[in-house]
Amino acid sequence: MLVLNDIAFNLDQGEQPVVQRIYNYGGKQLLAIGLAKGVAFEQSYVATKAKIMVVQGEIDVNTASHSYRLERFDSFELPREPFTIIGVFDAVFLLMVHKVTKEAH
């Protein structure tokens, strides 16, 4: 997928996360996010079901009470509490978000 290659290529050009929306339809969203070593995806909060899958590198997912190290091909359901994701090594991961609608309950 060219989008992921572009993100990986552009990691060394800044100290900000590289974010590219891949899909957004029907309450479902897929983002590709790149983090260079030491760069943080700051204090995020997802109020709906969300999962990440690491495509390249390693990341740490940190909450107030836990820290999780994820490597290539690891997947992880994000907690519904504030979290920060930090690139341990240059990393690219997918963030899949499913917005729950009132009809779905």
Closest CA to 32 of 2, 7, 68, 62: 7
**pLDDT score at 13:** 63
Cα dist. 70→74, 87, 88, 97, 102 in Å? 6, 10, 9, 18, 32
What pTM was estimated for this model as a whole? 0.85
Q: What pLDDT, in 10s, does the model give residues 39-88?
A: 999 877 777 889 999 999 999 999 989 999 999 999 999 988 899 999 99
Cα separation, 27 vs 50, in Å, equals 12
Q: What pLDDT, in 10s, does the model give residues 16-35?
A: 898 999 999 988 999 999 99
